[in-house]
Amino acid sequence: MKGVMLLSGGIDSPVAMHLISKVHDIEALHFSNGEFAGKESVDKSILIAKKLGLTRLMVIDIAHLLKEIATKCSRKYYFVLMKRFMLRIAEKIALLNECAFICTGDSLAQVSSQTMKNLEVVDAVTPMPVLRPLIGYDKEEIILLAKEIGTFDLSKGPEMCDILGPKHPATKARLEHVMEEEKKINVAALVDNAVASARWAAVP
């Protein structure tokens, strides 16, 4: 079975990619934020993709989308809204590439968007299965695995997706409230524009 992996420049998702690729064929998708974070996350993700044995990496710059969320929606829902958009886009990419599922590096309650309630709200946006190989791992276990597979040193550093996020994000978002926030922006157009901008980056 084939799936789409959301591969960031952080520590967790490369480990999830390593685990899931043992049993499934995976296409890797990286969301960048070029306007606010530069190209560092893309460069890191290409190096990580190479370490994981990939030959290509799909890159989508969602800076405009993130700016819309940050300026037009309630700030406390920023991370939940961002993750919902990522799954919407990943679902379309998956369908275009004949993939049956989406995979992420989430682990339960590690950050605000990964509480049980917030994951439920995030997953409600797509009928496609979302696999989380690290769901029961704690951070120390993930770091240990990252060191074992050789991605830890490549992944160290701040998460670029946090730049526009609030200091006090919602940890128990309610679906109806999040959907009300999404009415403030043109969800369909933002998703379609993101998908249309997707490009394959060669992994040297």
Q: Which tens digit of pLDDT belongs to each residue from 35-93?
A: 766 678 899 999 999 999 999 999 999 999 999 999 999 999 999 999 999 999 999 99
CATH number, position 34: 3.40.50.620
- Dump pLDDT digits (tens) for 99-155: 999 999 999 876 666 899 999 999 999 999 999 999 999 999 999 999 999 999 998
* Contact present, 52 and 18 (Cβ < 8 Å): yes
User: Looking at the 3D structure of the chain, how many domains does it have?
Assistant: 1
Domain span at 70: 2-202
Q: How far apart are the first and last CA of the chain?
A: 26
pTM greater than 0.75 (yes/no): yes
